[in-house]
Amino acid sequence: MHSFYWACFGRPSCVREVLKDSRVKVNEPDNDGETPLCYAARFGSPDVIKWWIASGREIELGEPGDVFMDAIGVAKEYDRTEVVSLLERLKENPVETRHAVRVELGLLDELAAEMFALVVFVSDGLLKTKATGVKAGAKRTRFFNIARRLPLELHMLLCFRQVGSCKEIIQRQRGCIQVAGLEPPVVLKLHQLTPHAPPARLPSQPSPALPAFPALSMTACQSGTSCP
Amino acid sequence: MLAAVEKGDVKELAELIRQDPDFKVNLVGGDGITLLHYACMKDDRSAVIPLLLAHPDIDVNVKTNMDALLLLGLFWTPLLCS
């Protein structure tokens, strides 16, 4: 069992910290062949799995019937109804589930949620290697899907320093993000505009009551000016 | 260092690492776990995780050298009760 296994035993803040390190093999089975997700499904709190989902890192649910890797089956076996529900939602509709989980965890806006995901990418080294060529594969596609929605300044912020808790940074700055490492320093102002539509739902599915998902626009201004 | 990790005291751990930069961060103790494993056991120790992960020699995937079920009995059950 490596560190991520230990974190999966119901330690949400530990999982959050460990997930930021790309070297952690989150889906690697232990010596018995059981995956961290199975441990989390059996022993951990649902928040552990929620932070994992919110991070955007890959989650291998395993094949049904596989005694070591079928996380949903393990959760059912141990009567973890909330975990079963969460994982089944994830299996059915990953995008919508990730959105709902991020809102639930307090990542109340798109930027905060994507910043947490981007910390993972910074940790992966994808942003740093952008100038010399990004690694190929699925991560590249995912990186560009996220990156093209964020301004260059934010990319640079994430390149220059590890962002700790994006939620804290946004709150601490009263709607502004101080961009470090740029000369002259830049402040990104966040303005909440019109409500942003959550991902489309299938007609047959009941619409869960999600809070409005505010859209953000960002404008750069010089440091030292007052932010609204 | 174990005491600093147990308290989740980042400053104390950083100072101890500064004093002994050559310490074996991946050393598996007699109980079969490393400092990082120990830090991952409780939420109030999570503050020291980034510090340990920043160590240049850290192996984040180093595994315990004891049976998982035995470790669970040793650590997980008492933690639940704490």
Averaged pLDDT, B39-58: 83
pLDDT above 60: residue A197: no
Averaged pLDDT, A30-51: 85
Cβ contacts of B76 on chain A, cutoff 8 Å: 9, 43
| Per-residue pLDDT band at A23 (split at 50, 70, 90) | confident
A3-92: CATH architecture: Alpha Horseshoe (1.25)
Number of domains in chain B: 1
CB-based contact B40 A28, cutoff 8 Å: no
3 state DSSP class of A188: strand
- Count the neighbouring beta carbons within 10 Å of the beta carbon of residue A135: 11
- CB-side exposure of A19: number of CA atoms within 13 Å? 29
The owner of tokens 């798109």 is A110
Nearest to B64 among A1, A9, A20 (CB): A1
Q: Which residues contact A193 (CB under 8 A, 6 or more apart)?
A: A214, A215, A216, A217
pLDDT above 50: residue A218: no
Q: Which of A56, A50, A184 has its CA nearest to residue A122? A: A56
pLDDT tens digits for range A143-181: 444 444 444 444 444 443 333 333 333 333 334 444 333
- Kindly state the percentage of chain B with pLDDT values over 90: 0
- Kindly state the percentage of chain A with pLDDT values over 70: 45
Question: What tokens appear for A24 in the block?
Answer: 């952690």
First-to-last C-alpha distance (Å) of chain B: 21
Cβ atoms of A177 and A190 closer than 8 Å: yes
Question: What tokens appear for A188 in the block?
Answer: 């990104």
Which burial class, exposed, middle or buried, applies to A111 when counting CB atoms under 10 A from its CB (0-12, 13-18, 19+)? Answer: buried
CB-based contact B60 A2, cutoff 8 Å: yes
pLDDT above 50: residue B56: yes
- Count the neighbouring beta carbons within 10 Å of the beta carbon of residue A130: 15
Q: Which residue range is the domain that position B22 belongs to? A: 2-81
Q: Record the pTM.
A: 0.61
Cβ contacts of B39 on chain A, cutoff 8 Å: 3, 14
Cβ atoms of A107 and A113 closer than 8 Å: yes
Question: What tokens appear for B1 in the block?
Answer: 């260092």
Name the residue with higher pLDDT: B57 or A191. Answer: B57
pLDDT tens digits for range A63-98: 887 777 888 998 999 999 999 999 999 999 888 888
Averaged pLDDT, B44-69: 79
CB-based contact B49 A4, cutoff 8 Å: no
CA distance linking residue A206 with residue B65, whole number of Å: 48
pLDDT above 60: residue A210: no
Question: What tokens appear for A83 in the block?
Answer: 């975990």
- pLDDT for position A118: 58
- pLDDT for position A206: 44
Averaged pLDDT, A189-195: 31
pLDDT tens digits for range B4-14: 888 888 888 88
pLDDT above 70: residue A51: yes
Cβ contacts of B33 on chain A, cutoff 8 Å: 6
Of A107-111, A150-154, B32-36, least confident by mean pLDDT is A150-154
Cβ contacts of B49 on chain A, cutoff 8 Å: 14, 17-18
Averaged pLDDT, B36-64: 83
